[in-house]
Amino acid sequence: MIDLLREIFTSNAGSFGFVFALFMVIFYAIYKITKFKTSIEVEHGTFGKRVDKIEANTDHIKEEIIKIKGLFASNFPSFDPYLQSQSPVRLTSKGITVAQEINIESRIANNWNHIFEFIDESVTNKNAYDIQQFCIEQATVNLSSLLTKIDVNEIKLYAFKTGKPVEAFGGVIGITIRDAYFKHKGIDVLDVDKHDPDKQHAPK
């Protein structure tokens, strides 16, 4: 499913309606499964194994939705209140505040060798746009691939206190990592637009 959504998200504009509809279907599926699980739990003694299986399936669907939200955020940054909508993407004043409150620059510095090697090994086409998208996506979908467990847990605690899911800060973390990587590699942030498929296909 994730590979299919990745293709949709990276395709030309026009697929947004389909993506939105897909979100509605998934959330409806979760509602139905959760409701069904609850009804079976009443007779837990008889259907214990079945309940365990349904709970596992529900957890899996929730994980998939978190991944979908991450892909959505990385490909539609204009919907992120912490990121400026213009390209190249930058942090808004709110984003800068969040970055400071979670001490993300310090956390990135402490994990820099791992982060740098992970990006270098994972991004095949090392152009500015692909690096940017990878950083945002990983920070949103799989933050533990970039930071230590302690860092991730502290950011989760911050998210809990602010009443937001930790995925909401993926853009802030991803863009901060992007800037650090670009600086290390001597890449101009303006190079992002040179490889942005939407910019390449935009009418002149």
Q: What percent of the chain is modeled with pLDDT above 70?
A: 58
Model's pTM, two decimal places? 0.66
Q: To which residue do tokens 């982060």 refer? A: 115
Q: What is the average per-residue pLDDT within 107-115? A: 97
pLDDT of residue 131: 93
Q: What is the average per-residue pLDDT within 115-142? A: 91
Q: Is 140 exposed, middle or buried (0-12, 13-18, 19+ CB in 10 A)?
A: buried
CA-based diameter of the chain, in Å? 67
Q: What percent of the chain is modeled with pLDDT above 90?
A: 39
d(CA 166, CA 2): 20
Q: Is the pLDDT of residue 92 over 70?
A: yes
